[in-house]
Structure 1
């Protein structure tokens, strides 16, 4: 009898790299990549969770032996292929990677290279302190290569469009999360590392400054124009400490900050199709006020 619940075999994965290009099953991959591209390459992930400390997202492809950790679903800087159980990962694939890796016409075995660096990507072995054998290979962005960023990338340009006027900054950020990072109808897609490289009025050091709100980043979103024509697209709001908007505003935050609390429901009037709201950054009264307005609301 045919077994409808027969375990599916892992997707065959062939990785081919040259100095100019990286492909997976013939599909070109560039960094930073994004969630949609990883799904195209590996299929839907088996599992996902949030890290305990940073609240970043962990994705795991059990059958294929692939996993990744990211702060922003639109800017994913690496993914890894696991080969050993000698690790301390919060979430790891159940199976080891069984595909093939060919770099510059050479089959790369896990123990025969010290690291490979090209302008477009880097390969390196992941080894825990105190261990001799690596547990994974990571493909990642080459952070030593500074990509040219157009001078007008983050310049807020004048517009003749009618804009939404927000009275509550926290509410505005929740809307930007939905329109910029979920629906991707607000451009440009903000990346704090790219913004820091683009900014010329002073040096922004994310490693040093990312534990508190960065004034220039906060001001950028306060000034960011949201066209009124996009308001009907907002049907839901979902706040989470791992939202892209908060991770870009506070790269080294722990998810428990109160900087982005919604203190007023007044801006809900702009969104006639808003039906459901899930909050974690809001004043105690906001849930009841939204429910009273007919918007189904709950705490995360």
Structure 2
């Protein structure tokens, strides 16, 4: 029997220059999309879903590359696997065999576990002192100078949705702000903490519970009625951006944002599907009764 794990992968050299990763000559900036990745790497040899969150997995066996993501238009990173990695669900059949360079200089020779490159980052995947591979992608800690009025909420000169249930509103914000990018600015917790000047928000200290000013921001945020027709589905997942910004160090079992009432569904005439993990038991049945196909995650 041939052991595919002993065979070298086809090389996929990656060079970071001019603010982007160049993979097989294709410029990739993170967050990126599946369309861009497929252009750079070709179609994945295997795809699937994670066992717990049911997010998408793509695996390029011949390249030794792995990616998982909740949203095909908002992929944060890819993994380049160089050793057997038990922490991923779909181990590539060959190990990554390309070279990672930064402005032409090999990353492996720079003596660093990770390297921040403005909005991007390169780093090693290390467990028990053994390098399992590398990651390239979005730098979660990158901060640009925040405009003085970026998170100032101004009254809208148009009709807004009057929400009854905060958990329902949070799910709608995920769809409009992060998935469809129709509700701007996209909220960023670290950026908001830097911008907020009424007191110092210490995320590392306070991030184990909802931060009241952050919660209040989303409660006060107006959502135009004209965007209601854009919502066709709700997909709750503990890894959704909205929950990561509402609670930095959450475990996914919290009930702060549980949908308790389905009354707000009346505002969204095109809402036909809901996949939920933050909701009270009766919500699934009530949504189905309203003609919205609902199930648990």
Change (3 A) 1:122 1:232: closer
Using the alignment, how far apart are the partners of 2:294 and 2:141 within structure 1? 45
Deviates more, 1:258-267 or 1:63-72: 63-72
Partner in structure 2 of residue 105 of structure 1: 104
CA contact (8 A) 1:59 1:68 kept: yes
Question: 2:233 aligned with 1:239, yes or no?
Answer: no
Return the TM-score normalized by structure 1. 0.78
Using the alignment, how far apart are the partners of 1:93 and 1:259 within structure 2? 38
Using the alignment, how far apart are the partners of 1:203 and 1:51 within structure 2? 39
Question: 2:184 aligned with 1:187, yes or no?
Answer: yes
Using the alignment, how far apart are the partners of 2:170 and 2:37 within structure 1? 26
Please state how far the C-alpha of 1:16 moved relative to its aligned partner: 1.9
- Partner secondary structure for residue 187 of structure 1: coil
CA contact (8 A) 1:50 1:58 kept: yes
Partner in structure 1 of residue 127 of structure 2: 128
- Partner secondary structure for residue 127 of structure 1: strand
Partner in structure 1 of residue 88 of structure 2: 90
Number of residues paired by the alignment? 283
Partner in structure 2 of residue 257 of structure 1: 254
Question: 2:194 aligned with 1:197, yes or no?
Answer: yes
Partner in structure 2 of residue 6 of structure 1: none
Unaligned runs of 5+ in 2: 1-8
Change (3 A) 1:247 1:102: closer
Please state how far the C-alpha of 1:187 moved relative to its aligned partner: 1.2
User: Matches of residues 1-300 of structure 1 in structure 2 within 5 Å?
Assistant: 13-18=12-17, 22-30=21-29, 32-36=30-34, 37-43=36-42, 46-47=46-47, 49-50=49-50, 59-63=57-61, 64-68=63-67, 78-85=77-84, 87-91=85-89, 92-106=91-105, 108=106, 110=108, 112-115=109-112, 117=115, 119-120=117-118, 121-131=120-130, 134-140=131-137, 146-300=143-297
CA contact (8 A) 1:51 1:90 kept: no
Please state how far the C-alpha of 1:271 moved relative to its aligned partner: 1.2
Change (3 A) 1:11 1:214: farther
- Partner secondary structure for residue 258 of structure 1: coil
Tell me the C-alpha RMSD between the 2 structures. 3.3
Unaligned runs of 5+ in 1: 1-9
